[in-house]
Amino acid sequence: MGDLGFETAGPVTKITEILGTDRLRVGSEHGLHSMVLQRSADLASSSLKTGDEVRVDSNYRMALEMLSSAKSQEYYLDSVPELPWEKVGGQEAALQAIKDAIELPLLHADLFKKFQHATPKGFLLYGPPGCGKTLIGKATAFNLTRQLREQVGAEVREFFMHVKGPEILNMWVGESERMVREIFATAREKRKEGFMPFVFIDEAESILGTRRASRYSNILSTLVPMFCSEMDGIESLNDVVIILASNRADLIDPAILRPGRIDRKIKVNRPNKQGAREIYRIYLTDDLPYEGALTKESAGIGEAIERLVDRVLEHQFARREENKFLEVTLRSGRKEILYRSDLISGAIIASIVERAKAMAIKRTISTQQEHGIREQDLYAAFDAEYSENDIFPPADMTEEWLKLIDYDPENVVKISPVKPIGDSPSRPGSGVI
């Protein structure tokens, strides 16, 4: 006679409440068809929480086994790449605002306590697409955790939870709210385990929008209050750091953005000429292969790249005919021209450098000789990038599209693309690939 142990198959249900150390409430979160189960001996020492899935016996009397929830793991990014502030270019003002908000309370805790100054717990990063909001969020996680390690002297790891807004929306009643509760519950649990949790919600306007302005208003009418109540349970950034990112901050519900929940609203602007130079230098590193003529014109490779970037920026930021991109007509009848440099972003610069690398690789393959990145490659990549992005909205979406490109839509009648005159623009190295 032997012991076969617990059965290996059976129904799966979700925990809705932890009842002491030996019982679990499972089933519907709203009290319909819920039941109380006894923990098995295997689960007696397991760390269970609301939202976990467990396998139960066929008679629904005992919870036998804890199952990992694959769905909840979709939102988590357990590791953050090494991103010191120097790796984020062209956003000096935004980075300084974040440093003041997260580093000063850690470095001068006694001073903040003396002034009884409350530390912020939530940030909003807003601005046009492609300007580094997600990158800044990850850099914040890396640098804040590093500051904590240096201050405490213990090993503290970041737990970066990257939540895509539209993935939370669910047609089933209560399911979206359950996901929000599960995200915050996981963040608090990770803090107890010694991690520094960061909840980064991308495209925040999709789930935290104005409750009467969205086509998902029936969902947002309960989702937004649920998010507010979860945020109210967080004391400061020493518990959980909440970062929202949005291209359209004007669509986020005011209840979310009020002080005490999202304490800092930080604008992520398009990079200016100096910012674009910093971004180019991040991607055009010294260890890349360059054309021989570039490396011979200066004493060192670093100085040669600096001169190359200066010439490229002079071309890209020039107010010349081939750099005209959009024509904006105002109600007064006056017309304004937006140039390519007015619509530059970190994502566009990264794409330009990648295109230039692809041209150098293709040239090396075709000639069977080693070639590096040329100055003309960057010019050609710049033209190709904007010609492929020559997509414009319908007339009835002009105002919304102008907000996306970070241009004031007030008194704007229409926008229209500016087509270049002639087939070959008069740029340095035109036609050379």
CATH of the domain at 242: 3.40.50.300
Q: Is residue 422 part of a domain?
A: no
Q: Where is 159: in which H helix or E strand?
A: strand 157-164
Q: Could you say which of 267, 300, 329 is where a domain stops?
A: 267
Q: Is residue 3 part of a domain?
A: no
CATH number at residue 55: 2.40.50.140
Handedness of CA 89, 92, 98, 100 (dihedral sign): positive
For residues 53 and 63, what is the distance between their CA atoms, to the nearest angstrom? 10
Give residue 283's pLDDT: 93
Q: Where is 403: in which H helix or E strand?
A: helix 398-404
For residues 26 and 14, what is the distance between their CA atoms, to the nearest angstrom? 6
Place of tokens 């398009």: 270
pLDDT digit string, tens, across residues 274-330: 999 999 999 998 888 888 777 776 678 888 899 999 999 999 999 888 888 878 887
The verdict on 39 and 111 lying in the same domain is no
The verdict on 377 and 261 lying in the same domain is no
Q: Is residue 282 part of a domain?
A: yes
Q: Could you say which of 245, 267, 289 is where a domain stops?
A: 267
The verdict on 245 and 97 lying in the same domain is yes
At 278 the three-state DSSP class reads helix
Mean pLDDT, rounded, for 388-405: 59
**Which amino acid does the sequence have at 420?**
P
Q: Are the CB atoms for 66 and 43 separated by under 8 Å?
A: yes
Say how many domains are in the chain. Answer: 3
At what angle are helices 346-367 and 273-283 packed, to 10 degrees? 40
The verdict on 413 and 352 lying in the same domain is yes
The verdict on 50 and 89 lying in the same domain is no
Q: Are the CB atoms for 196 and 148 separated by under 8 Å?
A: yes
For residues 210 and 252, what is the distance between their CA atoms, to the nearest angstrom? 6
Q: Are the CB atoms for 381 and 363 separated by under 8 Å?
A: no
At 13 the three-state DSSP class reads strand
Mean pLDDT lowest among 71-85, 108-122, 275-289, 336-350: 71-85
At 118 the three-state DSSP class reads coil
The verdict on 388 and 301 lying in the same domain is yes
Q: Which domain holds residue 35?
A: 12-68
Integer CA distances (angstroms), 29 to 10, 25, 60, 173, 178, in order:
21, 9, 17, 10, 8
Its pTM stands at: 0.76
The verdict on 195 and 296 lying in the same domain is no
For residues 299 and 265, what is the distance between their CA atoms, to the nearest angstrom? 45
Query: What secondary structure does DSSP assign to 251-275, as a single string?
Result: GB-HHHHSTTTS-EEEE-PPP-HHH
The verdict on 151 and 234 lying in the same domain is yes
Compute the CA torsion angle 250, 255, 259, 261 (nearest 10 deg).
-110
Mean pLDDT, rounded, for 378-382: 92
Q: Is residue 73 part of a domain?
A: no
Q: Is residue 431 part of a domain?
A: no
pLDDT digit string, tens, across residues 416-428: 777 655 444 444 4
Give residue 427's pLDDT: 46
Q: Are the CB atoms for 370 and 361 separated by under 8 Å?
A: no
Phi-psi region of 297 (alpha: psi -120 to 50; beta: other; left: phi over 0): alpha
State the chain's maximal CA–CA distance in angstroms: 95
pLDDT digit string, tens, across residues 108-166: 778 888 898 877 778 899 988 888 898 998 888 888 888 877 776 667 777 888 887 77
Q: Is residue 211 part of a domain?
A: yes
Other Cβ atoms within 10 Å of 25 Cβ, number: 16
The verdict on 263 and 349 lying in the same domain is no
Q: Is residue 388 part of a domain?
A: yes
Q: Are the CB atoms for 62 and 46 separated by under 8 Å?
A: no
Q: Where is 286: in which H helix or E strand?
A: none
The verdict on 405 and 284 lying in the same domain is yes
The verdict on 58 and 190 lying in the same domain is no
For residues 370 and 164, what is the distance between their CA atoms, to the nearest angstrom? 42
Q: How many helices (H) and strands (E) does the chain have?
A: 15, 13
**DSSP-assigned beta bridge partners for residue 330:** 412
For residues 342 and 271, what is the distance between their CA atoms, to the nearest angstrom? 9
Contacts of residue 281, Cβ cutoff 8 Å, sequence gap at least 6: 89, 305, 306, 309
Mean pLDDT, rounded, for 1-7: 66
Give residue 62's pLDDT: 83
Q: Could you say which of 39, 68, 97 is where a domain stops?
A: 68
Q: Is residue 345 part of a domain?
A: yes
pLDDT digit string, tens, across residues 235-275: 665 678 888 998 888 888 888 888 888 888 999 988 999 99
Q: Are the CB atoms for 115 and 77 separated by under 8 Å?
A: no
The verdict on 301 and 254 lying in the same domain is no
At what angle are helices 133-152 and 92-102 packed, to 10 degrees? 40
Structure token pair of residue 211:
């409750």
